[in-house]
Every structure is written in C-alpha cells, then in structure tokens.
Amino acid sequence: MDLKSGYPFWAVKNGLMCKFPQLTSDIHCDVAVIGGGITGALIADELGNHGFEVAVIEQRDIGWGSSAASTALLQYEIDTHMVDLARRYGEFHAVLAYRACADAIMDLRNLADELGDVDFGMQESLYYASKRSHKSVLQEEYDLRIKHGFEAQWLDAGGLKEQFGIKAPGAILTRLAARVDPYRMASRLLLRLAEQGGRIFDRTVIDTIEPAGERVTLRTEQGFQVDAGHVVMAAGYASQKWLKQSVAKNRSSYAFITDPIDPSDLGLLASTMVWESARPYLYMRTTGDGRLLVGGDDDDMDIPERRHRRVEGKSRGLCKKVKKLFPELPVKPAFVWGGTFAETEDGLPFFGAHPQYGSRVLFAMAYGGNGISYSMIGAGLLRASIEGRQHPLAELFGFSRTG
Ligand SMILES: Cc1cc2nc3c(=O)[nH]c(=O)nc-3n(C[C@H](O)[C@H](O)[C@H](O)COP(=O)(O)OP(=O)(O)OC[C@H]3O[C@@H](n4cnc5c(N)ncnc54)[C@H](O)[C@@H]3O)c2cc1C
C-alpha cells in the first residue's frame, strides 16, 4: 500500500539518505526487526546497543514509509486527555502513560544529540480550546496535570491574545515538546547500527512468519530465510494485516510546509508548536530553518489513489485555517502531502506479544498522534520483554487491555 501522497518534505529535502543491500542468503540473528521506519530504527538501535545481534528488514528503502510523511511534533500530550485515560484505566495508569511520553522526549533529545544534524529542537506546546465549550474540559485537564507534577501554564483568552495573537477561550502552554526530522533520524540511527555491526536490508519483503519452539523463521518473498530468537513487527500500518484481531483504524492526515518565514513574522511560533482541542485537530510547528509545517484535516481515507487527489484541496483548507488564526502571517504552501496513520480506540499504542503468534513475535504498533514518542517508549518496553524483565507499561500498552 502506498503510505504517502504528494511531496513529503523530508523526502524532498534529504533525498535517499542510505542504501542497504537486499537479503540474498539465509541468515541467523538474535532479533529480526521487520520495518525500517522510525519505530524499527529506534527499537533496533536500543537492542543493538544492549548486545543483541539485530537484523532489520525493510521492503522499501529505509524510512520511506509513513516516517517520511510525519510532521514529527514530539509531545508528551497524548491525543486522549489524561482525564479521559484516568476515567478509563484509573489515574495511576493515565499518569504513567503521560510520564512515559514526557521521558520519551528527553530520550529522543539525548539520541538526537548523539546522532547530530537531525533538526531536533526543543519547543513549547500550546494547546488551545477550539470552542467556548472546550474551555472547562481543558481546565480540568490542566488541573489533573498540575496535580501530578507536570509542568504547564494556563492561559486565559486575554493572555492568549496578548502572547500569541490567538483568539480562543483558553489554552494549556507546556515547555516540554520538541521537533525532529523523522526520516533523517531513522536513517542516521540505522547507518550507525550498520557501522556497529547490525545488518540492514532494504527492498526485501517478509512474506511469512513461523514461530516454532525457541526460534522464529521468516521467509522473504525472494525465498530466503531469517532464523531469529525474536521478531519485532515494526511494519507500521501494515502490521495490522498480520493480525486476525482488528486493533486500529487506518486514517489519512494532510500537511504542507512553507518556505522559510522571517523570524519577526513568526514571533513565538518560531519556538512554539500549536494544536487545538477540536477533533480532527489543526497542528503546526516550525523547522530549524524557519519554515512553518502545518497538518490536520484528517479523514478516514485509506485508498491511496483517492488520497492523492485530495492533497491539494486539503492543503488549501489547512492554509485557510492558519490564516484565520494568524491573519498577519504570510503563509504559502511550498510542498503539500498526505500520509497514512492509524488510530486506536483509546489513543494508546500496542507493544508486545499477541496470542496469535506466541511470546517470540513482538508487535510495535506506535499508532496515534504522537507515534514517535510511543516508538521511543516501545524500544525500552520491547527490550525488557526480550530480556524477560517486567516493564511498567507492558500491560497498559499490551494487547491484554483489549480484553
Ligand atoms: C501526515 C502525518 C503526520 C504525523 N504527525 C505526527 C506527529 O506530529 N508526531 C508524531 O509523533 N507522529 C506523527 N505521525 C505518526 C508517525 O509518523 C508514525 O507514528 C511513524 O511514522 C510510524 O513509524 P513506523 O516506523 O511505525 O512506520 P513506517 O514509517 O511506515 O515504517 C514501517 C516500515 O515497514 C515496512 N514494511 C511493511 N511491511 C513489511 C514487510 N512485510 N516486509 C518488510 N518491510 C515491511 C514499510 O515499508 C515501512 O517502511 C504522523 C503521521 C502522518 C502520516
């Protein structure tokens, strides 16, 4: 399935950053990771750094799936409010999930520092109420976050207008958020892994998975075998086709990026990402070179040919929304695109074994608006699982929560 439409900026900006060989013989490894997007790259990196012999197998080129289309706002704020998660799973678990996402941003920052040159930058995050009726919902959310020690500031309509020029009933402003070039980060992680002895193969499709006893055998479309102690299924949205159980719905999100904008015109937007309480929400952030990256207008389109046709119109709609919010800002799309993402019913990801395959095949379904933060958490979670250790989020982020 074609995961992206139009011209995703990271692909245009970076070109093809790395090329790896196809798999042309049978191999053995400790862990085989299916999928070389940001999820597979973060997990393979974590495992490689902890002594595992890892092989990554990617059917396209590395990072060329939905990771190349991601707008990559890195947030601790999950699409599902902490208040709603608390109602569903209890306050303890809601806080655990939010705290893990907060930690993930710092982990991503450390990784970005090690790798260098991945357009990582810390930003603030402004979450505004789209309607008057959403103000009390956001205030309740703010109160719960403060109660549990999360750093956040409440802005009323006056403060919001004064600081950001936005006309809205209120907003939560937090300091802990970041941006990254996700394609560059995935590529650099896997290039580093290859230098350290990890094996990476691209243009190699995994066709079958057969767990048997202590090992798992993968077969490629070309007929070669991968014999592994564990398999991590980090195939992005394609992971779902390996499960009989339906755990998420595929959707499309749309985005555009401008040419660099003068910092005096960007004002606080240069260091603040902005999103809203409406669903689907409008979201935006800047890049290191001062471009404005805007996304949203998500729909349930799952047919690539139809999504291709929607990209231009969606970009015009998004542009109109930004102009309404910031009438003075010179906004003109330079590149427009759309991409597949998936949503689970509760906004949480799935990491871990599924009964259909037993304990040696681990799924890494980093689905949701902050999929990249989830992937970072998943790296530690799946390593713990492979090492036979408990992880505090194994249950909440596991398939057992579906009952
Ligand atoms: C427009 C858009 C905006 C987004 N914005 C954000 C955001 O602001 N913040 C955020 O955190 N997240 C965001 N996301 C979500 C984020 O992009 C995803 O969580 C992330 O890219 C998923 O990475 P992945 O590695 O799991 O999937 P992918 O990047 O799709 O990688 C999976 C790889 O597996 C490979 N594969 C599949 N099947 C096989 C097989 N059988 N054999 C071999 N290889 C296979 C595919 O070719 C693919 O390259 C956004 C997504 C989109 C589309």
Q: Which atom, in ligand 1's list, is nearest to the CA of 182?
A: 21
CB atoms inside a 10 Å sphere around CB 50 = 11
Q: Judge if the beta carbon of residue 339 lies within 6 A of ligand 1.
A: yes
Is the N-terminal amide bond of 211 cis, ω within 30° of 0? no
Q: Judge if the beta carbon of residue 349 lies within 6 A of ligand 1.
A: no
Tens digit of each residue's pLDDT (9 = 90 or more) over 130-187: 999 999 999 999 999 999 999 999 999 999 999 999 999 999 999 999 999 999 999 9
**What is the H or E stretch that residue 343 is in?**
strand 333-343
Are 80 and 103 found together in one domain? Answer: yes
Are 310 and 369 found together in one domain? Answer: no
Q: Judge if the beta carbon of residue 255 lies within 6 A of ligand 1.
A: yes
Q: Judge if the beta carbon of residue 315 lies within 6 A of ligand 1.
A: no
Q: What is the pLDDT of residue 1?
A: 66
pLDDT beyond 90 at 341: no
Q: Judge if the beta carbon of residue 189 lies within 6 A of ligand 1.
A: no
Q: Judge if the beta carbon of residue 144 lies within 6 A of ligand 1.
A: no
Tens digit of each residue's pLDDT (9 = 90 or more) over 266-277: 999 999 999 999
Q: What is the pLDDT of residue 263?
A: 95
pLDDT beyond 80 at 302: no
Instruction: Report the interhelical angle of 371-386 vs 38-48 (nearest 10°).
Output: 30
Domain boundary among 343, 370, 387: 343
pLDDT beyond 80 at 296: yes
Tens digit of each residue's pLDDT (9 = 90 or more) over 357-366: 999 999 999 9
Are 217 and 357 found together in one domain? Answer: yes
Tens digit of each residue's pLDDT (9 = 90 or more) over 177-226: 999 999 999 999 999 999 999 999 999 999 999 999 999 999 999 999 99
Whether the CB-CB separation of 275 and 281 falls below 8 Å is answered with yes
Instruction: Report the interhelical angle of 38-48 vs 182-195 (nearest 10°).
Output: 30
Q: Would you say residue 96 lies in a domain? A: yes
Domain total in the chain:
2
pLDDT beyond 70 at 391: yes
The alpha helices in 326-393, defined as continuous H runs, are: 371-386
pLDDT band at 115 (very low <50, low <70, confident <90, very high): very high
Domain boundary among 343, 365, 386: 343
Are 256 and 382 found together in one domain? Answer: no
pLDDT beyond 80 at 285: yes
Query: By residue range, what is the domain housing residue 101?
Result: 21-120+180-243+346-403
Are 114 and 262 found together in one domain? Answer: no
Q: What is the pLDDT of residue 402?
A: 86
Cα-to-centroid distance, 334 and ligand 1 (Å): 23
